[in-house]
Structure 1
Amino acid sequence: MGTTESTEELIQDFADWCLRNNLQINAGKTKELVVDFRRRSHSPPAQVSIQGMDIDTVKSYKYLGVHLNDSLDWSDNTNALVKKGNSRLFLLRRLRSFGVQGPLLRTFYDSVVASAIFYGIVCWASSITDRDRRRMDRLVRRASSVLGCPLDSVEVVGNGRMMAKLSSLLTNTSHPLQDSLTALGSSFSERLLHPRCVKERKLLED
């Protein structure tokens, strides 16, 4: 983290850039999320102000439907997904009670329930805690019992969608990450090398 002065200057530069480019900042909806992993306690940062309005500091913030918090874990996001998933499962059960079965019920699960449970899964699937993963898997198992058929776990869905995303990036030559991913390709197989390997460190140094 930089000094208070540099932070204020950076915010002011951003506000000035928006003004020059005819972009309006909604300061009333802007929030400050402070991430600080220093072990020693420090005084809180100075109040951020944009366009003369003080910005509220929050512990968690919802961005594009994904909940981020100042601990950089996915607990708040999992809580939101579990809550939304339970409400969608209620609708699934109601449909079954009305006699809806088979492909129609599965279509409702895929489009309404699974879309809520697995929202943003490419971001969080590999880094949520085991406890949160078990909570999500319980939702999937409940849905499986309603449908009467097995469903993929959170890990399986996450791995599948991650591979699909990587494949789309590798074949999209206009994507800004395409060159970086191509450079991680192994010389002996089609696998991607881990970013911590020697080859990637050499690329970064160059």
Structure 2
Amino acid sequence: FAYRANRSVDDAVNMGLHFILQHLDKPGTYARILFVDFSSAFHTIIPDILQIKLSQLSVPTSICQWITSFLTDRQQLVRLGKLTSGTRTISTGAPQGCVLSPLLFSLYTNDCTSKDPSVKLLKFADDTTVIGLIRDGDVSAYRQEVEQLSLWCSHNNLELNTLKTVEMTVDFRRKPPALTPLTIMNSTVAAVDSSKFLGTNISQDLKWDIHIDSIVKKSPAEVVLSSSTEKVQSTTGTDDTVLLRCQVSSVLFYNCLVWGS
């Protein structure tokens, strides 16, 4: 969804919820959602592997070679005040803050997909979410796809952060049975009642109370309203509008097409 025309965070979250709600309309169903966390995602790109992937996507050879050259043998140093460290040569990952880096990571992970139709893999830059649509208690496909994701990561130099990766279950059955915890690389994944899905707090009851409470607390509206009278009087109407849009509206209305409808 990231860096594609006519696609946004709203689309990714809406599609994920659509998969879940459509599935839950059927009897004997529930969903397991794995919110995957990668350790230093952009820093793990291997230029040679990326070049192969770009070639498979029919990117011209000259562009592939240029990107490989751009990522290889980069000189880095640290400067603190008047002190400067020695120079180190880096040939892994993409430069932090570079406009091209998120796009390269999206292309690098393009072949990370789910083969089973009952398991949906949603990717937005370095955010990955696995949705298992479970029916009649059969979790074999879901567990297999999670295992394949783990193997894909090991083959492509990406590290799954099992300490920050969490799983949430959405189950509206009257008497849902206890579930066997999910394990990744011999580590048990923490089960949670709510988690952030691309910046939006989603809970296992699919209600938005937690998200609304969080954005109200996060919004700097209180800071704006508590400004001194003299400061408020010194601003023009245009200043107030800009302040509202930048500091308040951007927080309150983020992804509101999902939770505000």
TM-score under structure 2 length normalisation: 0.44
Rounded to whole Å, the distance in 1 between the matches of 2:148 and 2:240 is 53
For residues 101-155 of structure 1, what are the alpha-carbon distances to aligned partners after superposition, in whole Å with 9 as ceiling and x for unaligned? 32212211110011111111122221xxxxxxxxxxxxxxxxxxxxxxxxxxxxx
Shift of 1:14: 1.5
Distance 1:59 1:100, change over 3 A: farther
> What SS does structure 2 have at the residue aligned with 1:9?
helix
> What SS does structure 2 have at the residue aligned with 1:115?
helix
Unaligned runs of 5+ in 1: 127-206
Aligned to 1:106: 241
Aligned to 1:125: 260
Rounded to whole Å, the distance in 1 between the matches of 2:253 and 2:139 is 39
Rounded to whole Å, the distance in 1 between the matches of 2:153 and 2:257 is 31
Distance 1:61 1:100, change over 3 A: farther
Rounded to whole Å, the distance in 1 between the matches of 2:209 and 2:224 is 25
Q: Per residue, is there more strand in 1 or in 2?
A: 2
**Alignment length (residue pairs):** 123
TM-score under structure 1 length normalisation: 0.55
Unaligned runs of 5+ in 2: 1-133
Rounded to whole Å, the distance in 2 between the matches of 1:42 and 1:117 is 35
Aligned to 1:93: 225
User: Structure 2 counterpart of 1:108, which letter?
Assistant: L
Higher relative contact order (CA 8 A, sep 6+): 2
Aligned to 1:76: 210
1:27 aligned to which of 151, 162, 165: 162
> What SS does structure 1 have at the residue aligned with 2:226?
helix
Aligned to 1:7: 142
Q: Per residue, is there more helix in 1 or in 2?
A: 1
User: Structure 2 counterpart of 1:20, which letter?
Assistant: H
Aligned to 1:51: 185
Q: Is the 8 A contact 1:68 1:77 kept in 2?
A: yes
For residues 73-124 of structure 1, what are the alpha-carbon distances to aligned partners after superposition, in whole Å with 9 as ceiling and x for unaligned? 2221111122223xx1222123352233322122111100111111111222
Rounded to whole Å, the distance in 2 between the matches of 1:123 and 1:20 is 35
Shift of 1:24: 1.5
Rounded to whole Å, the distance in 2 between the matches of 1:123 and 1:52 is 35
Distance 1:120 1:100, change over 3 A: farther
> What SS does structure 2 have at the residue aligned with 1:106?
helix
Aligned-pair identity (%): 26
User: Structure 2 counterpart of 1:17, which letter?
Assistant: W
Rounded to whole Å, the distance in 1 between the matches of 2:186 and 2:171 is 26
Rounded to whole Å, the distance in 2 between the matches of 1:93 and 1:33 is 37
Rounded to whole Å, the distance in 2 between the matches of 1:63 and 1:100 is 40
1:37 aligned to which of 160, 166, 172: 172
Rounded to whole Å, the distance in 2 between the matches of 1:125 and 1:93 is 24
Rounded to whole Å, the distance in 2 between the matches of 1:55 and 1:9 is 15
Distance 1:42 1:95, change over 3 A: closer
